[in-house]
Amino acid sequence: MAGLPEKDRKLMTDRAVELSGRYPSASATDIMQMARVALTTMGSAERGDQILPGLVKGLVALQSSKGVDAAPEMLNRLLNGIDNLGKNSMDEVGVKNTLDIIDGII
């Protein structure tokens, strides 16, 4: 979390705690890592926060089907692919595209 503005750290921390309460198989630490990846993929903490619930739902589904250790890496690869394709454009369409892809694949 070094180098992130306090506002972004707080948003990510609060959301990780909330989502780990909703999805107990996803730890707050795992969700914080996903939040950092979402931030870099989407370009801001706010946009990353918009896709984070979908990512956590995907993590839980993948944990069940692919295993606890494989799930985070699979999500990271998915986000890299979305980024490489440019589907995460810097507007609301980018957020919708990203969520649609996550929902469609997982």
Decide if pLDDT at 2 tops 70: no
At which residue do the structure tokens 């503005």 appear?
A: 5
What is the per-residue pLDDT across 28-87, written as a single tens digit (0 to 9) for each? 999 999 999 999 999 999 999 999 999 999 999 999 999 888 998 999 999 999 999 999
At which residue do the structure tokens 């494989």 appear?
A: 70
Residues 6+ apart with CB under 8 A from 22: 56
- The conformation of residue 1, written as its DSSP 8-state character, comes to -
Q: What is the pTM of this model?
A: 0.89
Question: Token pair for residue 98?
Answer: 């990203």
